Amino acid sequence: MIPRVLSIGWASCVCATILTAQAVSFVRDVKPILSDKCFVCHGPDASTREANLRLDGRATAARVLDGNEPELVRRIDATDGDERMPPPRSHMELTEREREILRTWVREGARYAKHWSFVPVPSSVPVPAATVGESASTWARSSIDHFVLRAMRDHDLEPSVESERWRWLRRVTFDLIGLPPTLGEVRAFEADESDGAYERVVDRLLASPHYGEHRAVAWLDVARYADSYGYQSDLLMPTWPYRDLVVRAFNDGVPWDRFVRDQIAGDLAEQPTRDQRLATAFQRLHRMTNEGGSIPLEMRTEYVADRVRTFGTAFLGLTLECARCHDHKFDPISQREYYALSGFFNSIDEHGLYHDSSRVPTPSLLLPNERQEARLAELEIAMHDARSKLREAIAAASARVPVNLTDSDADRMRESALHERLAGWYRLDAIDAGKLANEVEGRKPGSTAPGNRLVDGKQGKALEFSGDDVASFPEVCGALRQSEPFTIAFWYRYAGQRDRAILLHRTSGTDVGFFGTELEIDRGRLRFSMQRHAPGNAMSVVTKEVLPKGEWMHVAIANDGSHGASALRIHVGGRLASTALRDTLFKNPGAGGSGFDFGQRFRDVGPTGDAVDEVRAYERALAPIEIAVLAETFDEGAKDRAAWTPWFVERDTAVIAAREALVMAGKAAFDHRTGFREISVMQETATPEATYVLARGAYDAPRDESTLVSRSTPACLPPLDEEGVTNRASLARWLTNPDHPLFARVTVNRLWQEFFGRGLVATADDFGSQGALPSHPDLLDWLARDFVTSGYDIKRLCRQIVLSSTYRQSSRAPTSVCERDPDNLWLARYPARRLTAEQLRDAALACSGLLDRSMGGPPVSPYQPKGLWRESNSMSPAYHQSVGTALYRRSLYSVWKRTAPLPNMLVFDAAHRESCVVKRGETSTPLQALVLLGDVQFVEAARVFAQRLLEGRDDDEFVRAAFLTVSSRPPSASEHERLVRLMRAQHAQFVEDEASANDLLHVGDAPAPAPADGDAPRVAAATMVAQVLFNLDAGTWKR
Amino acid sequence: MKRRTFLQSVLASGVASAAKGMGTTVRASAATDGAGTHWPAKCKRVIYLFQSGAPSQIDLFDPKPGLRALHGKELPANVRAGQRLTGMSANQASLPIAASPFEFSQHGESGAWISELLPSTAKIADRLCIVRSMFTEAINHDPAITFFQTGSAIAGRPSFGSWISHALGTDNPDLPSFLVLVSAGQGGQPLYARLWGSGFLDARHQGVQLRAGASPVLYLVNPPGVSRRTRRAMLDALSDLEKEQLEREHDARIASRMAQYELAYRMQESVPALTDVTSEPDSTFELYGEDAHKPGTFAANCLLARRFAEAGVRFVQLYHQGWDNHGDLPRAIAAQAKETDRASAALILDLERRGLLDDTLVVWGGEFGRTTYSQGKITKDDFGRDHHPRCFSIWLAGGGVRAGTTYGRTDDYSYNIVDESGAVLRPTKDVFTKGAVHVHDLQATLLALLGIDHERLSVLHQGRRFRLTDVHGHVVRDLMS
């Protein structure tokens, strides 16, 4: 709400002069009224347009603006409810001042102008010269100051005095590294009278690795970065490598245009580096669900919408999401344009749901460390060698294959086909108490649920599936892993009642994601897959021919254990029938259990009416000719040496050994790779996904020729001038074109907001019609142009801001100034602000000496009240509080669970991170007092702070040193006296109640002082003083 | 202005007005500062008994005796009429009808049909307005409950309670205006802070969750070794230092912050006093049942809700999980009913005998309904029901509610909403359909009872006026007395 109040406040400041001294400005005065009060019915959205009247353009509005008695004026002045505009039912009203502006505007010719933020940033912006030569011009140190000073003078304001050195040091230290200055830093700076003292401080801070940590926080709000998926069960999501990338990028001073191009399309760079691909995780940080029953397409539609919204808010400062269901009500963005833009973001091969934290949704990026990478290289070479050796062994063995097949060979072949390593043979001729007999001695029988029934089969009876009932065949073929060669052969009668059905599987998981090995039938084609997270982390082979319905066909699936889609085969009617569909399995699927199930899977479509007979399970890969034997297509008379060669070859001891070696080498590589960190990233599909205008934003809206759109950018912005197929890389180049009207403005505005609490455009997330106008338009443009020409250098921009006289002003100003500019729009004083959630906690830790300054890595779990994660969410993992120094890491590294965020952060307006946020709230609630006074984290910090500072200091000295450490200034005499008084009184009380003192000194995991010191009451009293200091305005606000 | 006078003026004029002049709008914590009502209110506060997971209407409020004859038979395709199903049952080869195994009978003068599972609720039938024709769009829990509680399935919008707090303010300066209680240890569908979040409204309107146990509000109790006297001494010192800081910095927000510290200090006493039920007479526990002695039970929370209502809390939100009966429904729903039935009715009777029911609005219900067909197989004593957004039942009671009525009808399968003649309605949120109540319609109606026009309760955020009811919602006069 604040932004709105501000823009109105500003308008009211200037209104007196608008109507008298200067012409009405369309952009500044008229457009905000039309937009807010009229556009809902007379704006860009055709679906809600009344009277076929559009007021957002001169031509379409002409009929109510022109003439002797323009209708617009008549209607806004009408008293009759039917005539009056806006109509009473809209609950909108024009103030007299607004009506006067509209009247004047119409009288002066009703001139329109392009919306200010769509006008290109000028190639150069002159710095105001008006202030030069005037007495106060010595105040201005930088170009920024000249702009600010002119605006002040325009409003009869003068700058405040320069603030004390310690205040500036405190501000700049918090603003650049997020921590308070140390005592030593305060003293050193106070003492440094030499030229360049300020600049040296800034250089020191910009070079600090903590700079990147602090700067990252605001970006992580924008990126809706969190450590959990968000919806429903809200499991943890392994995203932290992205967070560390952001910190690194800020510290390395990566030019912002490059940074952003990588966020949008790093994967599409030429030979992208790992970091470039990692940067695109930005677009996969949206919430994801694993709620049972969710519809993948519906969720994918939401994710794409989130990407578009984030792109709009973060880079364009536009509320694009308003155009998802209908044309934008206020800005010239049609629903069609919205979807045309969304077409850049939907072309990744993603499933839409996740299953659990260990199965990273694809497309994804593996993030091995150096050691893992080196080991993988070894294993891959070993696998390659094993493959070569197998090839050589096969070649050698092939030479020994007889030219003619003897009868005894044929018998042996038949014998092996029927019996060798046969683990299950289920004839399916009878169901005995639910059991399906296994003809293989010593092996378990199968079983079936009652719904499946016996029907006439290929041989005797067969088992027909209801679609809802399972038939299980346990303890054969291991768990159908890729390193476990197997063959499952059976007669199959396809009914074709369901479009797609699961026929056979050894998978775990639920409808949100199955993982393991499976055989599906999809419109008559068989698909044999092994997968960890479909579709990206999977391999599949598929048959080409459509199975006939109602006929008995012989089907066999085989895996030879050589890893990769080439290891998988489907035989139909005794002939190899499959080709590779996908070969991108890179981790172990990780299904549990053993054997396989036929006919049904939890919440999946079953093969209703399909039947199987004579199921045979082998714990080896049968040679094709053996499968022909089973399929009754083996022709003994045929003299096809090539057909029986594989059978002979696979019985060669050298081949057997070489194949075993390859299986093991592959397993070693997969096992190793399965341990790698992995993160979801963007990876463009080979051909762009078709994109449709979705009526009302609904995922199941009609998708046809009439709703089909092709990728493009909104017409109100410069065109995307590229030939051929455009993609996210084109979009990234378009966005970071030096003349883009929004990108640089939005960026510098957000950074300005970080330092001054409010952007030059107060609505940092809305540069559209309904957003606030820039308070200092020229300064915004100058900053934007300067930022672009300086190579998008964020550190340079920070430096310019913090060294400016504007930033150096005192926050105290005469009451007259405060009354004239209550919202401090004209910056005639420094805008004081409370520290952020992260800064408050980090400052307490820094003061106490507890702060662990190590950087990066997996999130840590600081103190929080017990039970919060699971008390209302039994599906959530439990919270495991960190131990040791990990309790004292910077807040940036604290685990962020979207549905149960850390309460001591949330209460100080930390963003929820459920969606893109560019500005946090600034609230004041009693819960904040409860946290700072009662949270273990802060009590412990106060205690350790007291313990540390008491050493070798008397009460007077302690209070002085503690005050100075927390607030960066010495206490006044009265402050000092008051705190010493508190300390002594508390000391006396704790002496009387030493048990309480001891209780207090054991708050938190940090060691309490040794009891031998015998001074528990004094430490406890000092802890109370420290707590007061941590709660002081002087300790919690930046002034 | 001299320092002395600045300080005095801040303290004398009240924090709010002085702070205004300082740059940020700071509202005094105590005042009833809401946007206000648009017409005379029928009730002043809300107790919302949210039954999370979605209770089965067919087994509680919407009897379909005719289904007994069809038990186990396939649901006719024309009943479903192509409606989408969740991924949990969409793939079933068979969708067999599951008749409710529970008996229904009529109760009170109104003759409301209520299941044998809810004997206590049946006794207060004449105080209830049962709505059988609720409908929603979402089909999964997370989007559905978020939609119900915030008016949008998109995370981050203000919750119902926050809107009410924003509109009507508080009657008790020592307590938050919006309190949340969750039954402990229920399992079931997750709940999360966003359901009681204040979104883009001021954080003061955020629901404050009270937890069973020693610290009903997070961080409320003093750290070990810190007595109330010590806390007071600290606050006194803090206050003295902040007065000096106020004079030094000329920023009234310092005074406003001090007021928050004092409120926190008062909450340390007022909240435990309110959650301590030991002073309740025996008759209370006779009414709510012995469970009300056990912190964290639904009964204990209902009792707390009454105490909060008495103390002037504007909105009390209860959640009871466990209604998501995809399987094992006959046993599970009986247990759920047992946990909630008596206390729900007791709350109504207790409010009534204290004269609070006239201006308190009580709502009982979940986020959607359940299917008439079984999810999974029907066995002799077991079946389950999947999610069903097309029709479900809730009840209302209290100020301004048309008590002793049952509103809305469903078809013979409790699958579709029908009109008086039995013709199937296909209501949407866009157009009001008499006989059907969309979630936004319910929200509009509840707001109307509170004296608020749902079309006028809006807040400008990111250039757009947001409402609890989005651009939808119609007040259902038939639910109002």
Residue of A nearest to B88 (CA): A293
List Cα–Cα distances, B96 to A289, A599, B70, B74, B376, in angstroms: 29, 19, 9, 4, 9
Q: Which of B93, B141, B386 sits opposite A232 (nearest CB)?
A: B141
Using the predicted structure, report yes or no on whether residue B2 has a pLDDT greater than 90. no
DSSP letter at A160? P
- Count other Cβ atoms within 10 Å, centred on residue A598: 30
Decide if B184 and A904 are in contact by the 8 Å CB cutoff: no
Q: pLDDT per residue over A604-633, tens digit each?
A: 999 999 999 999 999 999 999 999 999 999
Provide the Cα torsion A77, A80, A84, A88; round to 10°.
130
Residues forming beta bridges with residue B104, ordered by sequence position:
B115
Mean pLDDT rounded to a whole number for chain A: 93
Give the C-alpha separation, A40 to B35, whole Å.
23
pLDDT confidence of residue B336: 97
Tokens of B253: 């927000």
Hey, what are A144's tokens?
């920024």
* Cβ–Cβ gap B193/A289 under 8 Å: no
Is a pLDDT exceeding 50 seen at residue B24?
no
DSSP A149: H
- Contact yes or no for A275/A245 (Cβ under 8 A): yes
HSE-CB of A916 using CA atoms within 13 angstroms: 28
- Total residue length of chain A: 1039
Distance of CA A854 to the CA centre of its chain: 24
**AA identity, residue A521:** I
> What are A79-138's pLDDT values in tens digits?
888 889 999 888 888 999 899 999 999 988 899 999 999 999 999 999 987 555 555 568
d(CA A839, CA A857) in angstroms, rounded, equals 20
DSSP strand pairing (B464-467 vs B458-461): antiparallel
Closest CA to A866 of B212, B319, B192: B212
Chain B interface, best mutation among A316, A824, A927, by max B CB count within 10 A: A927
Q: Which of B22, B92, B187 lies nearest to residue A874, judging by beta carbons? A: B187
pLDDT at A91: 82
List the one residue out of A360, A364, A336 whose CA is nearest residue A348: A364
Indicate if the pLDDT at residue A171 is higher than 60: yes
Distance from CA of B262 to the nearest CA of A (A): 8
> Which position has the token pair 């005894």?
A408
Instruction: Return d(Cα B112, Cα B124) in angstroms, integer.
Output: 10
Q: Do B377 and A700 touch (CB under 8 A)?
A: no
Tell if the CB–CB gap between B208 and A291 is shorter than 8 Å. Answer: no
Q: What is the dihedral of CA A67, A69, A73, A78, to 10 degrees?
A: -140
Nearest CA in chain B to A939: B223
Residue A24 confidence (pLDDT): 83
**B155 vs A914, A925, A931: nearest CB:** A914
Residue A248's identity, in one-letter code, is: R
| Alpha carbon separation from B103 to A350, A526, A781, B65, B248 (Å, rounded) | 48, 49, 74, 9, 74
Chain A residue with minimum CA distance to B461: A1
DSSP lists the bridge partners of residue A579 as A542
Query: Using 50, 70 and 90 to split pLDDT, how confident is the model at B8?
Result: low
pLDDT bin (cut points 50, 70, 90) of residue A22 is: low
Give the integer Cα–Cα distance in Å for B276 and B24: 38
Residue A631 CA to residue A570 CA, distance in Å, equals 13
Distance CA A337, CA A324 (A): 9
* B239-249 confidence digits (pLDDT tens): 999 999 999 99
The tens digit of pLDDT for each residue in A821-859 reads: 988 999 999 999 999 999 999 999 999 999 999 999 999
Q: What angle do CA A663, A669, A673 make, to 5 degrees?
A: 140
Of B182, B226, B462, the CB nearest to A1000: B226
Q: Which string of DSSP letters, residue by residue, matches B108-157?
A: TTTTEEEETT-HHHHHTGGGEEEEEEEE-S--SHHHHHHHHHHS-SSTTS
pLDDT recorded at residue A25: 85
Contacts of A293 in chain B (CB under 8 A): 86-89, 139-140, 386-387
The Cα of A712 is separated from the nearest Cα of chain B by a number of Å equal to: 25
* Whether the predicted pLDDT of B265 surpasses 90: yes
What pLDDT does B10 receive? 53
Identify any residues that bridge with A436 across adjacent strands, giving them in sequence order: A446
Res. A871: pLDDT tops 90 = no
Q: Which chain B residues are Cβ-neighbours of A930 within 8 angstroms?
A: 217-220, 264, 267
A230/B464 Cβ within 8 A: no
Which residues of chain A neighbour B138 with C-beta distances below 8 Å?
none
What pLDDT is recorded for position A90? Answer: 84
Residue of A nearest to B20 (CA): A822
- Distance (Å, whole) CA A216 – CA A220: 6
Closest in A467, A603, A993 to B88, CB measured: A603
Question: For A53-76, how does the pLDDT look when each residue is reduced to its tens digit (9 = 90+)?
Answer: 999 889 999 999 998 889 999 999
Do residues A1006 and A1023 make contact, with C-beta atoms less than 8 angstroms apart?
Answer: no
Q: Tell me whether residues A608 and B222 touch, CB distance under 8 A.
A: no
Distance from CA of B186 to the nearest CA of A (A): 8
DSSP B421: T
Query: From the candidates B2, B137, B140, B227, which should be mutated to test the interface with A, based on the most A CB atoms within 10 A?
Result: B140
Mutate to test the interface with A, among B20, B27, B74, B142 (most CBs of A within 10 A): B142
Place A13 in a pLDDT band, splitting at 50, 70 and 90.
Answer: very low
Which residues from chain A sit within 8 angstroms of residue B186, using beta carbons?
A: 874
ipTM of the complex: 0.88
Q: Quick one: A607 exposed, middle or buried, by C-beta within 10 A (0-12, 13-18, 19+)?
A: buried
The DSSP result for A71-104, as a single string, is HHHHHHH--STTT-SS-GGGT----HHHHHHHHH
pLDDT at A510: 93
Asked if the model's pLDDT at residue A800 lies above 60, the reply is yes
A900, amino acid identity: A
Mean pLDDT, residues B336-358 taken together: 97
Strand A513-522 with A525-533, pairing? antiparallel
Residues 6+ positions from A136 with CB-CB distance below 8 Å? A149, A158, A159
Q: Residue B34: its pLDDT value, please?
A: 55
Residue A549 neighbours by CB distance under 10 Å? 13
Q: Which chain B residue has the Cα nearest residue A910? A: B203
Measured between beta carbons, the chain A residues lying within 8 angstroms of B248 are 812
A489: amino acid identity, one letter: A
Q: Percentage of chain B surpassing pLDDT 90? A: 73
pLDDT digits (tens, 9 = 90+) for A589-599: 999 899 999 99
pLDDT digits (tens, 9 = 90+) for A902-942: 999 999 999 999 999 999 988 888 999 999 999 999 999 99
The minimum CA-CA distance between B282 and chain A, rounded to whole Å, is 30
Residues on chain A touching B82 (C-beta within 8 angstroms): none
Determine how many CB atoms are found less than 10 A away from the CB of residue A296. Answer: 17
Task: List, in order of start, the domains of chain A with CATH numbers.
Answer: 2-113 (no CATH), 421-534+552-558+581-619 (2.60.120.200), 936-1038 (no CATH)
Contact criterion met (CB < 8 Å) for A874 and B190:
yes
For B225, the closest of A319, A931, A996 (CB atoms) is A996
3-state secondary structure of B395: strand
Tokens of A442: 């010593």
Give B179's contacts (C-beta < 8 A, 6+ positions apart): B207, B208, B209, B210, B308, B313, B315, B316, B317
Please give the C-alpha separations between residue A165 and each of A144, A188, A812, A813, B127, in angstroms, as whole numbers. Answer: 20, 11, 14, 17, 69
Distance from CA of A403 to the nearest CA of B (A): 53
| Cα A225 from Cα A232, distance rounded (Å) | 18
- Show residues of chain A in contact with B141, CB under 8 Å: 232, 291
* Contacting residues of B for A231, CB less than 8 Å apart: 142
**Beta pairing partners, A506:** A517
A675: buried, middle or exposed (CB in 10 Å: 19+, 13-18, 0-12)?
exposed
Query: What are the residues facing A462 on neighbouring strands?
Result: A455
Query: Average pLDDT of A449-478?
Result: 96
* Nearest CB to A322; choose among B204, B386, B464: B464
CB contact under 8 A, B26 and A935: no
- The whole-angstrom separation of Cα A606 and Cα B12 is 76
What pLDDT is recorded for position A48? 86
When mean pLDDT is compared over A933-947, B146-160, B258-272, the highest value belongs to A933-947
Entry field: residues in chain B: 481
Contact criterion met (CB < 8 Å) for B245 and A769:
no
| Residue B361 main-chain phi, psi, to 5 deg | -105, 125
**Residue in B236, B235, B255 with CA at minimum distance from that of residue B14:** B255
- Secondary structure of A19-70 as H, E, C letters: CCCCCCCHHHHHHHHHHHHCHHHHCCCHHHCCCCCCCCCHHHHHHHHCCCCC
Residue A221: its chain B contacts at CB < 8 A?
Answer: none
Q: Which of A933, A998, A1031 to mutate to test the interface with B (most CBs of B within 10 A)?
A: A933
**A254 half-sphere exposure, CB direction, 13 A CA radius:** 21
Interface contact A295-B464, CB threshold 8 A: no
Residue listed under structure tokens 């709703």: A707
Q: What is the pLDDT of residue A232?
A: 87
**Inter-chain CB pairs, A–B, below 8 Å:** 274
Name the nearest CA neighbour of B136 among B481, B472, B477, B476.
B472
Going by DSSP bridges, is the β-strand pair A833-834/A1037-1038 parallel, antiparallel, or unpaired? antiparallel
Burial level of B176, CB count in 10 A (0-12/13-18/19+)?
buried
Q: What is the mean pLDDT of residues A175-186?
A: 96
- How many CA atoms within 13 Å lie on the side-chain side of A803? 19
Nearest Cα residue to A346 out of A295, A294, A311: A311
- Mutation site for B-interface testing, chosen from A908, A919, A924 by largest number of B Cβ within 10 Å: A924
pLDDT at site A9: 33
Q: Nearest chain B residue to A297 by CA: give it.
A: B87
| Helices A973-992 & A1016-1031 angle (0-180, nearest 10) | 140
CA–CA min distance A1006, chain B (Å): 15
**Is the CB of A997 less than 8 angstroms away from the CB of B208?**
no
**Average of per-residue pLDDT across A283-310:** 95
**Which among B21, B89, B223 has the least Cβ separation from residue A819?**
B21
Structure confidence at residue A135 (pLDDT): 53
Work out the minimum CA distance from B244 to partner chain A, whole angstroms: 8
Residue A478, burial from CB neighbour count under 10 angstroms (0-12, 13-18, 19+): middle
Cβ pair A925, B203 in contact under 8 A = yes
* pLDDT tier for residue B35 given thresholds of 50, 70 and 90: low
Residue A92: the pLDDT is 85
**A833 DSSP β-pair partners:** A1038
Please provide residue A486's backbone torsions phi and psi, each rounded to the nearest 5 degrees. Answer: -155, 165
Q: Between A918 and B86, whose confidence is greater?
A: A918
Q: Which two tokens stand for residue A903?
A: 């309460």
Rounded to whole angstroms, the Cα distance separating A758 from A772 reads 11
Residue of A nearest to B183 (CA): A872
**Taking phi first (over 0 means left), then psi (-120 to 50 degrees means alpha), and beta for anything else, what does residue A774 get?**
beta
| Alpha helices per DSSP H over A790-874 | 794-802, 805-808, 815-820, 837-848
